[in-house]
Amino acid sequence: MMLEELILAGGTTVVGAMATDSWAVARGGIGRLFRRRGQDQQSAIEAQLDNHVALIERAGDTERVRQSLLPVWLLELESLLDEYPDAAGDLQELIGEIRDRLPEDQRAWVQNNVAKDGGQVFAVQGGNVIVHQTAPGRRDGSGEAH
């Protein structure tokens, strides 16, 4: 898994676990990851996690709050992995552990893509997209556009 994908998977998994039965595992695992920065930083991250869970628990629209919190956790995880690249393996293991404990309805990920005004969207979840672009125009069978 590429680093950007790992960070996105980590952030979405942590935010998705907030205020669920799998929260204790997620909170403990994130705390252990950030322990690399020392006890004070670990405590600060755990307090931030607790505050974010409280926001979700009070919210009428929990998914909107989760989406709002996601960029925060993407930045936190990116910063941690920039400083401690060796944490990537631990984060990947934690993602698997949390996902295994998420409620069934939170194991499915939704992706919305919009292309307009001549735009193109190539999207995938959990795989690869390989696109071979060619210039617009007629083809004469030789593979060249005219």
What percent of the chain stands above pLDDT 90?
61
Q: How many domains does the chain have?
A: 1
Would 138 be classed as within a structural domain? no
CB 20 within 8 A of CB 105: no
> What 3-state class would DSSP assign to 80?
helix
What's the chain's average pLDDT? 86
* Residue bearing the bigger pLDDT, 12 or 137: 12
* pLDDT for residue 135 is more than 80: no
Domain presence at residue 136 = no
pLDDT digits (tens, 9 = 90+) for 14-26: 999 998 888 999 9
Q: Cβ contacts of residue 26 below 8 Å, gap of 6+?
A: 13, 14, 17, 18, 94, 98
Range(s) of the domain holding residue 103: 3-117
Considering the domain boundaries, does residue 16 fall inside one? yes
Q: From 44, 31, 142, 133, select the one nearest 90 (Cα to Cα).
A: 31
- The token duo for 60 is 């009428």
